[in-house]
């Protein structure tokens, strides 16, 4: 081909690709953004239909940026489930502009604004809804609905599994509440790298504080660090916690600040905040993740009760 | 009893502000203000590669950042000298390319099968609250010698900034001095990344020097004043961040430096006019 | 006999264009030499190449019979004025004292006696009362005199000046010539790129005429200026 022909072909490619229909019905992937949502799909339909998760475990959805191959995965999906409430901050714009042929559903639509927590200044809604089992059961029901609407062949398997899983979640709530009762109320102070555990605090009676705000993209100020260090010293908080998706640097700096004040605080362990655990770990499922978190928190905070 | 967090971050801020202000003087006087921004953006791939090779080791990250900065600038010098492109054009291109490569690498890193984040994005935006005593030690070990070198070789630096041709006629390679200066700037930029991040670092280099320029009558005076301004804004920014809630330290320091620069630009000419009238 | 500046086969090109071609020169010690030629003839290039400020294709250059590196301390170079940033924060006496930089190694700052020499130099060029003046506030002639003072502080044996009288007022020009003649009287060698043919025989005693090639060289008293000058200024470029 001479140069002209090559240039013409290259020039026509965008037009050609735009004419190709994207998205399918009846075939195609069910794509979840976070591993938590991916777990819902897994629990509801197992291997009945193809599904996958976009944001690998251990990665931070607040700062996750889509690559070209991710965009391809969006285009190959027939249903995309995402958390919303600005959790997947840099993905939301892409997701809300997907073509009509691809169903996109946000878990945020399962809730009324009044049920959700807001940030201190009231400007942002806390997206970490999965830590409230009550809210999560509603999310599971919502996803079940969306799945059935997208693919009627899934109805039977969902109708079979949904009640069982829902029951599991109810039982889990009781189990975890009993565990947390081991922690005297005075010691129920949960300090982590960012404000991910607001719903957890509301559900189980914890005071929750984070070094960074609702999103890991924010930056903490010195006053925030100092205040936290003071709280830890004054109320003798036994432990603070790192998160699997956030650099431990800020928590370690907090610990150093506490020690400099003559206090002491242990690193209570690693919590899963914005993601589940890796496959082949107990925290690879939602249920397992909550159990791991509560176990870690309880053993660090309960003291010698 | 000073709050320990303010103490540690305050010292780091003073060191970063002071050394940046001093080195920025050289850049501003040689009319190479874009250089600081170019170096800051160039450090990103260095941070990413250092992480890939050595993990979260803070010393290696700083070294990686310095090396990348110096390579980026060396490329600028090379391309400027062998083509007919102007320095600022090449610098702008290099800045964008290196930063882009850095972002690509960071996005690639986020795909790797290791759980947990390295917090590498904090090198782009800064996370001053995470600065601990080890970071201060790095600053002292690498930052203070920078000042020492400048003071020791003052005749070279002074002549280099004022009349490079004369210096070359006296037998010193302007090119070599340029490389050394850029290396020193790369090091301080790398050290400043955890505090203010790559995007704001150039302001910390330029603003104190611009402010000092309005008041100083000699280069040594300008450098001294720029260092003072940088250090003062450093401690002031840290203090503000320690007094009010939800105020990030790095951006506050930069804002203060820029404010002082703007103020100086406005006030100094009027002040001089008043003095002249009064003296006459 | 040792020459102040001795050049053999010097060729300099910018890209593909030859600027200087096969230049030989023997400028004696203690003379005041003028380098003349039309614009673009390579006058500035000649001294820049000799001082290794510009790369040369071929050629050997010796100062006092030695390579440049061995005798740098003995050479004072006063470039054309354009290269400086006149807004630079520096005073007249700071520029002058810069002449002392490097004389005792580059890691030593100037001492009191260096500052004194700088002051003396400023007096010689007539700028004594301006010593604390920022250079931005100087006139063209005063700026030129400042750089001359710097060269004086260098205590060099050879002075190489690029168009020292370009754009200066008459009084400054008189002062500069007086200083240079004073140096010559002390046995120093002055080599200057010069543009004003009127003042040529009055100021200088040695001539080097160049137009890509050397056209003429020698003591002015031995040269037929009325022949050499037209010859220098009418040649067009380098024969291919």
Domain that holds residue A11: 3-175
Q: Quick check: C18 and C174 in contact, CB under 8 A?
A: no
In this structure, the strands spanning A207-212 and A189-194 are parallel
CB of C98 within 8 Å of a chain B CB? The answer is: yes
pLDDT of residue C235: 60
Q: In what order do the strands lie in the sheet with C213-219?
A: C75-78, C158-162, C189-193, C32-36, C206-211, C213-219
C90 with B222: Cβ contact below 8 A: no
pLDDT of residue C1: 81
- Per-residue pLDDT tens digits for B44-99: 899 889 888 887 777 888 889 889 988 988 888 888 878 888 888 888 898 899 98
pLDDT of residue A21: 44
Residue with tokens 């264009």: C17
pLDDT of residue A8: 60
Q: What is the CATH number of the domain that holds B129?
A: 1.10.3470.10
Q: Quick check: A130 and A273 in contact, CB under 8 A?
A: no
Share of chain C above pLDDT 90, in %: 51
CB of C54 within 8 Å of a chain B CB? The answer is: no
Q: Which of A112, A143, A175 is the last residue of a domain?
A: A175
Average pLDDT, chain B: 89
- Per-residue pLDDT tens digits for B183-208: 899 999 999 998 899 889 999 999 99
Chains in touch with A (≥3 Cβ pairs < 8 A) = B
pLDDT of residue B139: 93
Report the domain count for chain B: 1
ipTM of the complex in this document: 0.85
Q: By C-alpha distance, which of C142, C200, C130, C197 is closest to C169?
A: C142
Can you tell me the distance from the alpha carbon of A253 to that of B195, in angstroms, rounded to the nearest whole number? 13
Q: Which of A175, A210, A238 is the last residue of a domain?
A: A175
- Per-residue pLDDT tens digits for B106-134: 878 777 766 445 677 788 888 898 898 98
Please say if the pLDDT value at position B256 is more than 80.
Answer: yes
Chains A and B touch (3+ CB pairs under 8 A): yes
Q: Which residues contact B7 (CB under 8 A, 6 or more apart)?
A: A260
Whether residues A82 and A134 share a domain: the answer is yes
Please say if the pLDDT value at position C164 is more than 60.
Answer: yes
pLDDT of residue B117: 56
Q: Which of A137, A155, A175 is the last residue of a domain?
A: A175
Nearest CA in chain A to B103: A65
Q: Tell me if B100 is assigned to some domain.
A: yes
Whether residues A142 and A85 share a domain: the answer is yes
Q: Tell me if B278 is assigned to some domain.
A: no
User: What residues in chain B have their Cβ under 8 A from chain C's Cβ atoms?
Assistant: 29, 31, 152-156, 158-159, 161-163, 165-166, 168-172, 213, 216-219, 221-222
pLDDT of residue A16: 46
Whether residues A231 and A158 share a domain: the answer is no
CB of C101 within 8 Å of a chain B CB? The answer is: yes
Distance from CA of B101 to the nearest CA of A (A): 14
Domain that holds residue B147: 4-273
Q: Tell me if B279 is assigned to some domain.
A: no
Q: Tell me if B193 is assigned to some domain.
A: yes
A258, two tokens: 């506490």
B166 with C77: Cβ contact below 8 A: yes
Q: Quick check: C164 and C78 in contact, CB under 8 A?
A: yes
pLDDT of residue C224: 87
Please say if the pLDDT value at position B159 is more than 50.
Answer: yes
pLDDT of residue B78: 84
- Rounded to two decimals, the pTM is 0.84
Distance from CA of C107 to the nearest CA of B (A): 5
Whether residues A204 and A69 share a domain: the answer is no
Chains A and C touch (3+ CB pairs under 8 A): no
pLDDT of residue B118: 61
pLDDT of residue A12: 53
- From the centroid of its chain, how far is CA A175? 22
- From the centroid of its chain, how far is CA B31? 15
Q: Quick check: A58 and A278 in contact, CB under 8 A?
A: yes
Q: What is the CATH number of the domain that holds A248?
A: 3.40.50.1980
Indicate which of B115, B197, B239 best probes the interface with A, i.e. most A CBs within 10 Å of its own CB.
B115
Indicate which of C84, C89, C130 best probes the interface with B, i.e. most B CBs within 10 Å of its own CB.
C89
Q: By C-alpha distance, which of A65, A72, A78, A82 is closest to A130?
A: A82
Report the domain count for chain A: 2
Q: Tell me if B182 is assigned to some domain.
A: yes
- Tell me the CATH number of domain C3-90+157-234, given options 3.40.50.10800, 3.40.50.300, 3.30.450.20, 3.40.50.1220: 3.40.50.300
A59 with B249: Cβ contact below 8 A: no
Whether residues A194 and A113 share a domain: the answer is no
C79 with B165: Cβ contact below 8 A: yes
pLDDT of residue C167: 80
pLDDT of residue C233: 85
B111 with A213: Cβ contact below 8 A: no
pLDDT of residue A56: 87
- Between A121 and C68, name the one with better pLDDT: C68
Whether residues A84 and A34 share a domain: the answer is yes
Successive 10-residue mean pLDDT values, chain A, 305 residues: 59 47 59 96 93 90 87 92 94 90 93 89 91 96 94 93 96 96 93 95 95 89 92 94 90 93 92 91 94 95 74
Whether residues A159 and A195 share a domain: the answer is no
CB of C83 within 8 Å of a chain B CB? The answer is: yes
Can you tell me the distance from the alpha carbon of B170 to that of C150, in angstroms, rounded to the nearest whole number? 13
- What is the helix (H) or strand (E) element at residue A277, kind and residue range? none
Q: Could you give the 3-state DSSP secondary structure of residue A17?
A: helix
Please say if the pLDDT value at position C228 is more than 90.
Answer: no
The C-alpha R_g of chain C, in whole angstroms, comes to: 18
In this structure, the strands spanning C213-219 and C206-211 are antiparallel
Q: Tell me if B280 is assigned to some domain.
A: no
């Amino acid at each position: 081909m001479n140069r002209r022909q090559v240039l013409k072909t290259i020039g026509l490619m965008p037009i050609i690709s735009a004419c190709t229909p994207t998205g399918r019905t009846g075939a195609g992937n069910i794509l979840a953004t976070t591993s938590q949502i991916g777990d819902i799909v897994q629990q509801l339909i197992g291997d009945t239909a193809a599904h996958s998760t976009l944001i690998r475990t251990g990665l931070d959805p607040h700062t996750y940026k889509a690559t070209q191959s991710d965009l391809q995965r969006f285009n190959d999906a027939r249903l995309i489930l995402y958390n919303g409430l600005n959790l997947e901050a840099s993905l939301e714009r892409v997701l809300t502009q997907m073509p009509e042929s691809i169903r996109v559903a946000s878990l945020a639509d399962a809730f009324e604004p009044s049920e959700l927590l807001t940030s201190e200044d009231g400007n942002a809604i806390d997206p970490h809804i999965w830590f409230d089992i009550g809210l999560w059961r509603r999310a599971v029901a919502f996803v079940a609905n969306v799945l059935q609407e997208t693919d009627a062949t899934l109805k039977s398997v969902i109708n079979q599994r949904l009640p069982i899983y829902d029951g599991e979640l109810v039982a889990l709530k009781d189990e975890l509440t009993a565990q947390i009762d081991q922690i005297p109320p005075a010691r129920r102070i949960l300090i982590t790298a960012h404000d991910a555990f607001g719903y957890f605090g509301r559900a189980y009676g914890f005071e929750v504080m984070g070094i960074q705000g609702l999103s890991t993209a924010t930056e903490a100020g010195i006053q925030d660090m100092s205040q936290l260090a003071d709280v830890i010293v004054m109320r003798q908080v036994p432990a603070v916690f790192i998160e699997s998706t956030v650099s431990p640097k800020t928590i370690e700096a907090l610990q150093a600040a506490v020690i400099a004040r003559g206090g002491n605080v242990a690193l209570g362990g690693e919590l899963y905040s914005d993601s589940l655990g890796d496959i082949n770990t107990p925290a690879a499922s939602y249920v397992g993740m909550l159990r791991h978190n509560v176990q870690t928190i309880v053993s660090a905070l309960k003291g010698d009760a | 009893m000073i709050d320990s967090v303010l103490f540690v971050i305050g010292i780091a801020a003073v060191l970063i502000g002071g050394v940046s202000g001093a080195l920025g003087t050289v850049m501003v006087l040689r009319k190479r203000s874009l250089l600081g921004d170019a170096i800051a953006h160039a450090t990103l791939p260095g941070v990413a590669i250092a992480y890939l090779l050595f993990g979260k080791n803070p010393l290696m990250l700083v070294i990686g950042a310095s090396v990348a900065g110096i390579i980026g600038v060396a490329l600028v010098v090379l391309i400027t000298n062998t083509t007919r492109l102007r320095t600022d054009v090449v610098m702008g291109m290099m800045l964008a390319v290196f930063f882009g490569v850095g972002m690509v690498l960071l996005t690639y890193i986020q795909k790797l099968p290791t759980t947990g984040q390295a917090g590498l994005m904090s090198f782009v935006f800064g996370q001053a609250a995470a600065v601990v005593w080890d970071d201060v030690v790095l600053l002292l070990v690498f930052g203070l010698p920078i000042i020492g070198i400048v003071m020791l070789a003052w005749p070279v630096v002074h002549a280099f900034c004022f009349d490079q041709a004369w210096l070359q006629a006296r037998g010193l390679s302007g090119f070599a001095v340029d490389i050394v200066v850029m290396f020193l700037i790369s090091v301080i930029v790398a050290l400043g990344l955890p505090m203010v991040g790559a995007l704001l670092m150039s302001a910390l280099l330029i603003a104190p020097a611009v402010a000092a320029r309005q008041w100083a009558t000699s280069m040594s005076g300008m450098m001294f004043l720029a260092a003072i301004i940088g250090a003062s804004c450093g401690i002031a920014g840290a203090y503000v961040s320690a007094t009010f809630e939800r105020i990030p330290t790095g951006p506050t320091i930069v804002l203060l430096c820029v404010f002082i620069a703007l103020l100086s630009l406005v006030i100094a000419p009027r002040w001089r006019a008043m003095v002249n009238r009064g003296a006459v | 006999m040792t020459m102040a500046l001795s050049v053999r086969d010097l060729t300099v090109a910018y890209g593909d264009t030859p600027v200087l071609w096969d230049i030989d020169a023997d400028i004696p010690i203690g003379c005041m030499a003028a380098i003349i030629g039309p614009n673009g003839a390579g006058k500035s290039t000649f001294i820049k190449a000799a001082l290794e400020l510009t790369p040369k294709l071929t050629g050997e250059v010796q100062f006092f019979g030695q390579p440049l590196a061995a005798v740098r301390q003995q050479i004072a170079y006063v470039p054309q004025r354009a290269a400086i940033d006149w807004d630079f924060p520096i005073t007249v006496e700071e520029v002058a004292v810069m002449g002392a930089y490097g004389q005792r190694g580059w890691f030593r700052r100037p001492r009191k006696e260096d500052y004194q020499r700088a002051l003396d130099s400023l007096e010689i060029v007539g700028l004594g009362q301006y010593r604390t003046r920022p250079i931005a506030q100087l006139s063209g002639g005063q700026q030129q005199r400042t750089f001359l003072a710097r060269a004086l502080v260098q205590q060099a044996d050879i002075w190489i000046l690029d168009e020292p009288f370009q754009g200066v007022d008459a009084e400054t020009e008189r002062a500069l010539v007086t200083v240079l003649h004073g140096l010559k009287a002390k046995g120093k060698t002055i080599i200057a790129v010069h543009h004003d043919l009127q003042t040529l025989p009055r100021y200088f005693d040695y001539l080097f005429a160049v137009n890509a090639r050397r056209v003429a060289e020698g003591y002015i008293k031995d040269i037929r200026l009325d022949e050499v000058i037209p010859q220098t200024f009418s040649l067009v470029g380098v024969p291919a």
